[in-house]
Amino acid sequence: MYEKEEKKLRTIKQNYDELDIPVERLDNAIQLGMTKARQTARHKWKPWLISVSMAAILILSLLTAIRVSPAVASYVSILPGMEKIIERISTDKGLIDAVNHNYIQEVGVTDEYEGLKVTVDSLIVDEQQMKVFYSVEGTPKKDEFQIIPSLQTLDGNDLEASTTFADANLEGGKAELEATFYFNEPHREKELKLLLTLNPQKHTFMFPLKLDPVAYEKQKKSYPVNKTVEVEGQKITFKNITTYPLRTVIEVEFDPDNTKKLFTFEDLRIVNEQGAVWSGIKNGITALGENDKRTFYLESNYFQEPEHLYLTFTTIRALDKDQLLIKIDPKTGELLQGPRDHVIYDVRVNKSEVIYKVNMDSELRYELTSRIQNAKGEDIYGGSTSTHYSEVQEVFVRYDRKKLVPGPVILEISDYPTVIKKNVKFKIK
Amino acid sequence: MKDLVMRAVNGDDAAFTELMDRHKIQLYKMAYSYLRNEDDAVEALQEVTFRAYRALKKVKNPDFFSTWLIRILLNYCMDVQKTKKRMVVDAGKIEQAAVYQNHESIEIEQAMKEMETKQRELLELKYFHELKITEIAELWQCPEGTVKTRLYKALKILKGKLEAKGDAPHV
């Protein structure tokens, strides 16, 4: 009946058959699509996001689940109404201590938009950081949404801070969330605005906050240390230790003449004369800085009155400075230079990424590489993602193809599971 | 392919890449027929890869993986066309002329342009991209009979339009 039309339609099909297929571009598009998706998937998988405004490398330790320890359970009976908050901070002994000393402010203010109820439950703040506990309730019109916390001064300027916050997941109709603002400078404002911006709706909930900066200024205990220790020939100087209500800050300098690059302490901690231990921050910023001047953060013992305090550690992750670069031939994928201990293996290079697998026993997952450079030493880094499946961790480091020059691509190791050891313990108070 | 789909759904990136590789040419041609230029069609493939990868867990029946991909592509192309319509007045005609040298194709494409979106899409899927009636039924989530009825209706309308354009009916 319509044979003629069908025939005509089929002749057009021939045009498509004769279409030039840009195969290389298509392959590249698939790779890019996957990389982008992996990146997004990763953010979904990890409940913590970070926006970084500090011009330094932040090291975050991320927890996916919060467990309540028996020690926490006993506190709960002391403080009725605080159970939920304690649950959320149960990985940090210092924070629990702060809550138990009433160093937390109840807020309980609610605002509503398009069926979404947002309540700021309470907050806890010192000169260095502010933790805000808030909850979201209701059924939003859009399935996928995000609430982004930020702080502003009264005149509407953003307060500079690094922020960590959890993605709102409204399964069950309610989500209990928290955001932490790590101030770039000790804050001195008496009033601040807490903004919770709902995306993609672009609606902003605004909560005014009143603060007492004069009080914060006095709330710290400093211990000048200036002590140098040597571990397997590497010199480490502890400069100052300052304890704030919410965390302890330890300033450290590594000797520039060290033959190894020191990445981080595996077990830096403070103990008192009775053996009570304050260890590293498990959920939040754990360290700052990337070269020889570094800052490490421990749980706070501000509310304790110990007679003596000691700093102690046994293990530092470190690697010989001449081993820090991994050089790969982008054409063949051949490993030209780099550690040969099979921690990093199956290195491949495609048109836009260097891909490698990681063999690590440790449950701790940290990124092994940061920068990527061309043979001239210019930065060509374009972001990195990693996936885990069947116990294999695979890392994808993107690079800017346009900046590639003849010669190897160079990955720089920023953390590595090889360690140096010594039992170190010295008195700070 | 079923096995590949299962592996991809369970997080095997190599399997997913293989699947995309097998579908890339069909998806590209389809995207091209909607978007009319290489850059946009390549971009469409990237976006489909992105959306498919993120939604992999939602694949319910591995047998219909291909149709599932096509649906993602068509949704994307529709979105792009909507925005493009607002931006471009009629650049399509010029590009079209460059692609199709033969007069007959221009005429038929012109006639199709005047048809309802859904009818045009049906003709394109059936004749340009050679999808089977079962596949279109799966794509549209409707019975095969409905697809057939719609197909005849679309052909009838196309015939009418071509005749109106001076393609004299055979007596």
Q: Which of B12, B13, B127 sits opposite A6 (nearest CB)?
A: B127
Substitution target in A7, A8, A348 with the highest count of B β-carbons within 10 Å is A8
Count CB atoms within 10 A of the CB of residue B128. 20
Enclosing H/E stretch for A72: helix A70-78
pLDDT band, very low/low/confident/very high, at A143 (cuts 50, 70, 90)? low
pLDDT band, very low/low/confident/very high, at A50 (cuts 50, 70, 90)? very low
Give per-residue pLDDT as tens, A256-275: 999 999 999 999 999 999 88
Whichever domain contains B24, its CATH number is 1.10.1740.10
Domain end marker among B99, B132, B148: B99
Nearest CA in chain A to B49: A33
Domain end marker among B42, B68, B99: B99
Q: Are residues B53 and B105 in the same domain?
A: no
Query: What's the ipTM?
Result: 0.81
Q: Does A16 touch chain B (CB under 8 A)?
A: yes
pLDDT in tens, chain B (171 residues): 888 898 888 888 889 999 999 999 989 988 988 888 888 899 899 989 988 998 887 787 888 888 889 988 988 887 777 665 544 433 343 344 344 445 666 777 778 878 888 888 899 888 888 888 888 888 888 778 788 888 888 998 888 888 876 655 444
Q: Are residues B128 and B60 in the same domain?
A: no
Domain end marker among B99, B114, B149: B99
Q: Are residues B118 and B80 in the same domain?
A: no
List of domains in chain A:
104-215 (2.60.40.1630), 217-320+419-427 (2.60.40), 324-413 (no CATH)
Q: Are residues B47 and B23 in the same domain?
A: yes
Q: Are residues B85 and B165 in the same domain?
A: no
Place of tokens 């399509």: B92
Q: Which of A9, A12, A29 sits opposite B42 (nearest CB)?
A: A29
Q: Are residues B36 and B66 in the same domain?
A: yes
Contacts of A389 in chain B (CB under 8 A): 11-13
Enclosing H/E stretch for A271: strand A269-272
Q: Does A362 touch chain B (CB under 8 A)?
A: no
Tell me if A164 sits within 8 A of A131, measured CB to CB. Answer: no
- Taken in order B108, B114, B116, B118, the sign of the CA dihedral is positive
Give per-residue pLDDT as tens, B23-43: 999 899 889 888 888 888 998
> In angstroms, rounded to a whole number, what is the distance separating the alpha carbons of residues A179 and A177?
7
Q: Are residues B145 and B69 in the same domain?
A: no
Whichever domain contains B122, its CATH number is 1.10.10.10
Q: Are residues B90 and B137 in the same domain?
A: no
Distance from CA of A35 to the nearest CA of B (A): 8
Q: Which own/partner pairs from B113-120 qualify as long-range (CB within 8 Å, at least 24 positions apart)?
A: B114/B161, B115/B154, B115/B157, B115/B158, B115/B161, B117/B78, B118/B150, B119/B150, B119/B153, B119/B154, B119/B157, B120/B154
Q: Does A392 touch chain B (CB under 8 A)?
A: no
What's the domain range around B94? 1-99
Q: Are residues B87 and B170 in the same domain?
A: no
Question: Does residue A318 sit in helix, strand or coil?
Answer: strand
DSSP B17: H
Q: Are residues B105 and B67 in the same domain?
A: no
Q: Are residues B71 and B25 in the same domain?
A: yes
Nearest CA in chain A to B170: A4
Nearest CA in chain A to B50: A33
Q: What is the pLDDT of residue A40?
A: 59
Q: Which of A2, A9, A34 sits opposite B13 (nearest CB)?
A: A34
Average pLDDT value for chain A? 80
Tell me if B36 sits within 8 A of B94, measured CB to CB. Answer: no
Nearest CA in chain B to A7: B127
Length of chain A equals 429
Q: Does B48 touch chain A (CB under 8 A)?
A: yes
The number of domains in chain B is 2
> In angstroms, rounded to a whole number, what is the distance separating the alpha carbons of residues A140 and A178?
19
Q: Which of B29, B155, B156 sits opposite A19 (nearest CB)?
A: B29
pTM to 2 decimals?
A: 0.59
Q: Are residues B154 and B166 in the same domain?
A: yes
